[in-house]
Amino acid sequence: MLHVQRRFCIPLPIVRQATCLLETFPEVISDVSEDPSSVRSFASQRSELRSADISLAVPSFVVWGANTGVGKTLLSAALAHEATAQKVPFLYVKPIQTGFPEDSDAATVAGACGISLQMGRHASEAAGSSSSEASYSGRTGNSGLTDVWLQHAWKLPASPHLAVAAEGRGVTDSQIRAAALHTLGAFAGKHGSGMALIETAGGPASPGPSGTLQCDVWRPLRLPGVLVGDSALGGISTTLAALDCLRHRGYDVPALVLTDNALQNWKYLRERLGSGALVLSLPECPPAPERSKAADSTGVDASLSDWLRAVQPSIRRLREHLQQWHHQRVERLHSLAGKADSMIWWPTTQHGLVERANVQVIDSRSGEHFNALSSDQGGHPCIEQRYDGPASWWTQGVNEDLQPRLHQSIAYSAARYGHVMHPENASEPVVACAEALLGSVGKGWAHRVFFSADGSSAVEIALKMAFRAFMAQHPKQDASRLEVVGIAEGYHGDTLGCMDAVAPSVYNGPRQTPWYKGRGLFLSAPTIAMTDGEWHVFPPDSEEPPSEAYKELFLSEKLPSLEQAFEPGRCKGTLAALYEMMIVQQLQRHELEQRDSSTLAACIIEPILQGANGMRMIDPLFQRILVEACRAKGMMVISDEIFAGLWRLGSASAWERLHIVPDIACYAKLLTGGTMPLAATLATDAVFQAFASSSKVDALLHGHSYSGYPIGCAAAVTALDLLSSPMNPMLCTPERCNKGCSQPCGRLLELWDADQVVQLSVHPKINRVIALGTVLAAEVKPESGQGAGYTATGAKDVVMSLRKTGMYARPLGNVVYLMVTPTTSRQQCAHLVRKLFSALG
Amino acid sequence: MLHVQRRFCIPLPIVRQATCLLETFPEVISDVSEDPSSVRSFASQRSELRSADISLAVPSFVVWGANTGVGKTLLSAALAHEATAQKVPFLYVKPIQTGFPEDSDAATVAGACGISLQMGRHASEAAGSSSSEASYSGRTGNSGLTDVWLQHAWKLPASPHLAVAAEGRGVTDSQIRAAALHTLGAFAGKHGSGMALIETAGGPASPGPSGTLQCDVWRPLRLPGVLVGDSALGGISTTLAALDCLRHRGYDVPALVLTDNALQNWKYLRERLGSGALVLSLPECPPAPERSKAADSTGVDASLSDWLRAVQPSIRRLREHLQQWHHQRVERLHSLAGKADSMIWWPTTQHGLVERANVQVIDSRSGEHFNALSSDQGGHPCIEQRYDGPASWWTQGVNEDLQPRLHQSIAYSAARYGHVMHPENASEPVVACAEALLGSVGKGWAHRVFFSADGSSAVEIALKMAFRAFMAQHPKQDASRLEVVGIAEGYHGDTLGCMDAVAPSVYNGPRQTPWYKGRGLFLSAPTIAMTDGEWHVFPPDSEEPPSEAYKELFLSEKLPSLEQAFEPGRCKGTLAALYEMMIVQQLQRHELEQRDSSTLAACIIEPILQGANGMRMIDPLFQRILVEACRAKGMMVISDEIFAGLWRLGSASAWERLHIVPDIACYAKLLTGGTMPLAATLATDAVFQAFASSSKVDALLHGHSYSGYPIGCAAAVTALDLLSSPMNPMLCTPERCNKGCSQPCGRLLELWDADQVVQLSVHPKINRVIALGTVLAAEVKPESGQGAGYTATGAKDVVMSLRKTGMYARPLGNVVYLMVTPTTSRQQCAHLVRKLFSALG
């Protein structure tokens, strides 16, 4: 708004409805909610997958004000005026205007360029009296180089959320962004250079039409900002607080402008900001009442004209600074792929096989999406919004709406604690995190939480716990002979102890891990997948060809739905008997054969889904029987839920879906909601007591400096809270329940559309499909000559096609998978699967 | 300030200088800087060690305003008025007042309670004309239950930093805090209940007298806040931005009050804040001009009186809410020790040996200090500021002044990126972190950075790198025989691979790590320490008693200073020849004895100082000769700098002090400045190329999900920048240099006072001393019957005495150590050593 708003009124120009907006975004415009209650709520204004790119061909900035009435529109007008004078293509967008038509920042800016807005039928009706039109659109006709747009307006001179409440015509956050992006894109396509401004309404934390804060409305685009500071008494504080508000949402603010230097706030601010931003002080513009009396025919009075001319040299410096900053930003982004490829050593990556053009440069994250550097159809650089298909290596927990809560929690705890040392100390987030874990995934069995920083450490700790606890029960055993029982093709981490706890594999051969020694009995396990529209149990891999009768036992297992695989009743079936026989026999044989060298002390499993090994679903019945058999032999049971736990597979813990209770369980990945490393090993009291003595040397001597660090624990407390809240669409609530529950029933709802899963499984290019919790995985049929397993490349073509549809995916051998967050909507999931279909061709 | 300031002027009451302030804080008052240039700078207003506790006997809150003129003083007056009416003891402190005496918030508040401030000689002079007094102090005499204080005032009605610039009488941040704390303490001591308010000036980010933002001035106390919101148009934004500004500095804000409900901003704010805070809307107080005309004899006009009475029920609700919140806070703090002790499994801790009373409850960190729950002399709960003597397990990197920069960087990157996956991707903080590492500790040798999350993983990765690189040079060797050369009593981490790379120890016995197998040759090494005022080299431990001639070789090594130990010239001395002979002989013997089972492929050292093993300093000459001998045999050299690197020992890298160049080096701990886990393994191009092939299975298959996570990398970029800046007092700058350098010379300056170190070494209770970089360690002479090594308890008494002096310390066997940050001042170090002397008795 203008410096002194509502008094300085520019004669209303003629506004013509630009039809291109309606034509290009019919689904956006037609989808406007008329229900004021829905737009006033702060809850999800979930954005659908974005198809529009953010052009980098034209430097684009958002104009923010430290307060209302600090001169945002004056600055916009001055930049527009200067650009027009210099014949620099210029775009001004006012997405949200209240108090219209008396207030019209777009008209003021247009006036400063000597052009007037055209008015169309829709908007004139709306301006006349009550109207239900959601969107007014103006476009200049006077200058080929300057475009001025007003996109949504309301009559009430108040906060947009109140104007919507009073007048209707609600508009969602994603509609606001889509309209602005379209305008930016069209301008960039036409001119390919110049400058674009989006002027916000009020301050950064003022509500938009939906009730979402404007700094959150615009965050998915993460356009850089120009902040108009507050020159009044107290203005240093409001300016710095507004700057914090923007920066702590991940915005860059390369310029700060003050439009009144009476109190010289700029002097302090310039010193404070250092070289981080250009701080520009402009003289005050004469107050509005004098100006409006002398307004000339363009809507700009003589004193404003004088001011615009007076500030022109300073504004030129600002524009050049902004353009230079933008070019440096683009250059920096362009340099990142090469720098990363030449300085970083990526894990599990053969660098020579990575084409530099395929190195993804990520400018930011927004919810489930990356904002990644790309180029538009004209070859100009742009930021493309891509779905993070691997959930950033299986870590991501929250959607766009919930993400700010995680970040707030991180910012608060970083400032409150930094790091404080863990042993023999107590701080709120660490205790709260332990409490939350024991109250959810540890409920009913675990008494202690041991914190570490990554899954490997959590597993090494779990093994040390299990061995000591086993020794406490079997004091005559030789500790050096202790070994584990695991599932063949299991994976528990990359450090030596974790590797020793799995069978030989590509990860632990002599060239990878010379010190590796498989220390256990690793059983082949039956798997479950959908083929040709039906869920089947597949027999374990075996060296000898299985008999027909044996195969028939598996084929005859009826699984009308995947949920059926978890049914406790299955333990009375034929397959259960078979599993028990297989397991007991192998344990006995191992005991006989290894009598002198091995004592099986612990059973360690990845429950249900083996992630690193290509999203293989192990038959839950088999794991349950294995756990029972091992426990009967006195072994400790470790549930490695680093991948499978914390709602990744639909339930808080994976052990509960297996109907087992572990002695020790490990969590990581989703624990911080997908922000930073934190791991936890939970244990029973019996395990803990095995370390008790009067000597420190008997304590569990495994520590690292950041064990139990408060920032990570604070993020985890917030994440656990969000993931177990009704925001999690997999939890049954009365609203979601299709069985008429009147209160939360604990039943798990599937995220993936059952029909789509069936369709995928019958696709000619697909062998098998798994859809469980947040994971959908499809094994691509290998073409002749392609390998299988970790070295397979069958899924690579599909992955590359997916990337072209705005979905970043990575192959796992022959498997292509989509992983969403536990708070992703079903609509989003269905949308993603449609993309997969289109990539399969 | 008042709602409409400078117009509403209360008749100036009589103010009497309270002498208790001068008497109690003579060093505070006498230390006032009169140089306006120094107080205007944003640089270090470093606080000395605090002796004052923050009482929790009385609920104490800071009153913040979302903007200036929003009604902070009105709210304070209303709370004071209500408390007085209810006979609740009440303290009001106005630490900073400008525009005095026309503006006096303290006088307004006093007036609202029906009492008047007493004026003394000092203040009346100051109010009369120019005065150089730094501090005015008023104290009521009228009511035994109500205290009103004004502590520092200036005449200029502007921001305090401008008032100081104009009038002098600068006051440091720590002086402001000390004065307020003293007043709070005295009030709490007298009443033991009631409520206390500290009213700030301007908004949270308004500068204080020193130029520091007020939200930073008060942060070390971390008192909870009451925010007075902004009721004007745009006030939702300024209110929420102010709230972010406070919360993102770690403050709790349990109440938000709006003193004008015309625009009903409170409705939106209440919905937005949820149950996080009480949101209270009060009616507007009639504007000031009307009021002042009718002011009665107490300085309170009838309409203000009416307002105070009208809001009394709401204010009572607010006071009760704040008191309840406070009591819940104290209860929560009190519950933490028990909860932690019963739910958490601390690393390296025998829980049964930890007395619950010794569990430290940490409310927050401020720079190098913990704010910890304690109790005052009267047995009331309080927050005690304690020096973090173990630098939170050797992680801490920055002092109080620099800490906010780390937190800002964390908040920004958390919001911008959250986590984005690492392999084949590039983002700015990750690339910048790699660049910063390669440009500092990797300069001249390293080409690649491999990120992980903890030191153990970094070492496991380093071993994998070293073995593959060795095999590339020795392709006919059997990978399963590869072993390492290390130093006896070395420590490289707790995972199995790290443990296998060290000699048998208390950490890896069969009860701790059943799978442990020492895979190498571990040499005893000579050490260096100061005894009785002189630096000596001590021979390596040996099984046979050494000959006199052998001992004499060590005794004859002259080390006039510790710096001498690092001199390259020592490699020409007798000791060097001896070391070389010892090392070569042992390598040869191992080769002969283990011909069939071992190939020495890598040399792994903790350079200079063995941390986990009781701060033992290994003779650098020995390590240098060891590295040369190993390299001559074709081994890879790994410098494990997780503890010793990044300025912990005074230099950016530890290898540079040894005058060696590694093939692989590991960093962690200080890498993020002491905030969150991040580790990096640096390697040469030759090492990297050993993994190159056309197959993915040859890549280094060691990854974890948060490898290269942007938040940690952003913290690291900021930390590396701060630690290598002139803020680091160990780096020689022209100002610091005592040798007349005109530009930074790269020489390292010692933090610890040489005389103090000598005195410590001659203390009857002390055996040896090490003072190097940020570490000062002293070995306490064991009393008869006490053990030695990890199980020793000799240092425990000293540590417990230190804790009573406001220093949190932890023993390392018989060693007591102090560890500061690389940005700690020499004054602080000297102060800490004095505490150590007093603890030794």
pLDDT digits (tens, 9 = 90+) for B593-603: 988 889 999 99
The contacts of residue A471 (CB under 8 Å, 6+ apart) are A477, A479, A482, A601, A690, B511
CA–CA min distance A228, chain B (Å): 14
Q: In this predicted model, which residue has the larger pLDDT, A341 or A47?
A: A341
Give contacts of A268 with chain B, Cβ < 8 Å: 159, 161, 207, 211
Q: Does A592 contact chain B (CB < 8 Å)?
A: no
Q: Does B620 contact chain A (CB < 8 Å)?
A: no
Q: For B712, which of A423, A425, A676 is closest by C-beta distance?
A: A676
Give contacts of B390 with chain A, Cβ < 8 Å: 421
Closest residue on chain A to B371 (Cα): A417
Q: For A420, which of B353, B365, B460 is closest by C-beta distance?
A: B365
Q: Does A245 contact chain B (CB < 8 Å)?
A: yes
- Helix, strand, coil % over all residues of chain A, rounded to 5: 40, 15, 45
Confidence (pLDDT) at A298: 52
DSSP A756-797: HHHHHHTSTTEEEEEEETTEEEEEEPPPTT---GGG--TTHH
- Among A77, A498, A415, which residue's Cα sits nearest to residue B495? A498
Cβ distance of A426 and B337 shorter than 8 Å: yes
Cβ distance of A704 and B416 shorter than 8 Å: no
Confidence (pLDDT) at B143: 62
Confidence (pLDDT) at B296: 46
Give contacts of B702 with chain A, Cβ < 8 Å: 347-348, 494, 512
Rounded-to-integer distance, Cα B70 and Cα B235, Å? 10
Residue A345 has pLDDT above 90, yes or no: yes
Helix (H, G, I), strand (E, B) or coil at A335: helix
Domains with residue ranges and CATH for chain A: 19-43+53-331 (3.40.50.300), 394-452+670-725 (3.40.640.10), 455-667 (3.40.640.10), 754-840 (3.90.1150.10)
User: What does the block give as tokens for B195?
Assistant: 């409520």
pLDDT in tens, A313-326: 999 999 999 999 99
Report, as an integer, the average pLDDT of A594-615.
93
Confidence (pLDDT) at B378: 82
Rounded-to-integer distance, Cα A619 and Cα A607, Å? 9
Confidence (pLDDT) at A299: 57
Phi, psi of B415 (to 5 degrees): -75, -35
Total-model pTM: 0.92
**Residue bearing tokens 């006199």:** B548
pLDDT in tens, B175-213: 999 989 988 998 998 899 999 999 999 999 999 999 999
Closest residue on chain B to A484 (Cα): B515
Cβ distance of A416 and B222 shorter than 8 Å: yes
Phi, psi of B472 (to 5 degrees): -65, -35
pLDDT band per the 50, 70, 90 thresholds, residue B785: low
Q: Does B518 contact chain A (CB < 8 Å)?
A: no
Residue A735 has pLDDT above 50, yes or no: yes
Report, as an integer, the average pLDDT of B663-678.
98
CA–CA min distance B649, chain A (Å): 17
- In this structure, the number of other CB atoms found within 10 A of the CB of residue B364 comes to 25
Q: For B701, which of A244, A450, A506 is closest by C-beta distance?
A: A506
Confidence (pLDDT) at A733: 79
Residue A293 has pLDDT above 50, yes or no: no
Confidence (pLDDT) at B796: 87
pLDDT band per the 50, 70, 90 thresholds, residue A742: confident
Average pLDDT, chain B: 87
pLDDT in tens, A68-127: 889 999 999 999 999 999 999 999 999 999 998 888 899 899 889 888 776 533 333 333
Residue A4 has pLDDT above 80, yes or no: no
Rounded-to-integer distance, Cα A67 and Cα A35, Å? 29
Closest residue on chain A to B518 (Cα): A515
Cβ distance of B425 and A701 shorter than 8 Å: no
CB < 8 Å from B in window 105-134 of A: none
CA–CA min distance A377, chain B (Å): 22
CB B452 within 8 A of CB B461: yes
Give contacts of B494 with chain A, Cβ < 8 Å: 457, 460, 701-704
Q: Does A451 contact chain B (CB < 8 Å)?
A: yes
Cβ distance of A452 and B454 shorter than 8 Å: yes
- B637 beta partners: B603
pLDDT in tens, B704-751: 899 999 999 999 999 999 998 877 888 887 777 777 777 777 777 889
Q: For A711, which of B421, B676, B698 is closest by C-beta distance?
A: B676
CB < 8 Å from B in window 304-363 of A: 332, 336-337, 339-341, 343-354, 358-363
Rounded-to-integer distance, Cα A779 and Cα A535, Å? 14
Q: In this predicted model, which residue has the larger pLDDT, B299 or A367?
A: A367
CA–CA min distance B343, chain A (Å): 5
Q: Does A256 contact chain B (CB < 8 Å)?
A: no
Q: For B249, which of A415, A513, A691 is closest by C-beta distance?
A: A415
Phi, psi of A257 (to 5 degrees): -120, 130
Q: For B697, which of A241, A698, A791 is closest by C-beta distance?
A: A791
Give contacts of B202 with chain A, Cβ < 8 Å: 233-234, 236-237
Q: Does B449 contact chain A (CB < 8 Å)?
A: yes
CB B333 within 8 A of CB B384: no
Burial class (CB in 10 A: 0-12, 13-18, 19+), A568: exposed
pLDDT band per the 50, 70, 90 thresholds, residue A542: confident
Closest residue on chain A to B251 (Cα): A416
Closest residue on chain B to A201 (Cα): B234
Confidence (pLDDT) at A695: 92
Q: CA dihedral in degrees (A449, A450, A453, A457; nearest 10)?
A: -130
Average pLDDT, chain A: 87
Q: In this predicted model, which residue has the larger pLDDT, B88 or B297?
A: B88
Confidence (pLDDT) at B622: 97
Cβ distance of B424 and A394 shorter than 8 Å: no
Which phi-psi region, left, alpha or beta, contains residue B567 (left: φ > 0; alpha: ψ -120 to 50)? beta
Helix (H, G, I), strand (E, B) or coil at A618: strand
Nearest-5° Cα angle at A827, A821 to A833? 80
Confidence (pLDDT) at B44: 30
pLDDT in tens, B439-483: 999 999 999 999 999 999 999 999 999 999 999 999 999 998 999
Cβ distance of B419 and A395 shorter than 8 Å: yes
Q: For A496, which of B68, B500, B694 is closest by C-beta distance?
A: B500
CA–CA min distance B31, chain A (Å): 25
Closest residue on chain B to A498 (Cα): B496
Q: For B454, which of A268, A453, A467 is closest by C-beta distance?
A: A453
Report, as an integer, the average pLDDT of B427-431.
98
Confidence (pLDDT) at A789: 57
Helix (H, G, I), strand (E, B) or coil at B707: coil
- Among B313, B239, B297, B232, which residue's Cα sits nearest to residue B270? B239
- B534 beta partners: B531
Q: Does B471 contact chain A (CB < 8 Å)?
A: yes
SS3 string, B731-763, reads: ECCCCCCCCCCCCCCCCECCCCCHHHHHHHHCC
pLDDT in tens, B603-661: 999 999 999 888 999 999 999 999 999 999 999 999 999 999 999 999 999 999 999 99
Confidence (pLDDT) at A118: 64
Helix (H, G, I), strand (E, B) or coil at B693: coil
Rounded-to-integer distance, Cα A357 and Cα A569, Å? 53
Per cent of chain B over pLDDT 90 is 70
Give contacts of B426 with chain A, Cβ < 8 Å: 336-337, 339-341, 344, 359-362
Q: For B706, which of A248, A509, A676 is closest by C-beta distance?
A: A676
Closest residue on chain A to B472 (Cα): A511
Q: Does B4 contact chain A (CB < 8 Å)?
A: no
Cβ distance of A241 and B404 shorter than 8 Å: no
Confidence (pLDDT) at B735: 77
Cβ distance of B411 and A415 shorter than 8 Å: yes
Rounded-to-integer distance, Cα A480 and Cα A654, Å? 31
Cβ distance of B359 and A424 shorter than 8 Å: yes
CB < 8 Å from A in window 79-98 of B: none
Q: Does A153 contact chain B (CB < 8 Å)?
A: no
CA–CA min distance A277, chain B (Å): 15
Q: For B347, which of A211, A370, A423 is closest by C-beta distance?
A: A423
Q: Does A470 contact chain B (CB < 8 Å)?
A: no
Residue B793 has pLDDT above 90, yes or no: no
DSSP A104-167: -HHHHHHHHTT--B---HHHHHHHHS----------BSS-SSEEEEEEEE-SSSS-HHHHHHHH
* Distance in angstroms between the alpha carbons of the first and the last residue of chain B: 51
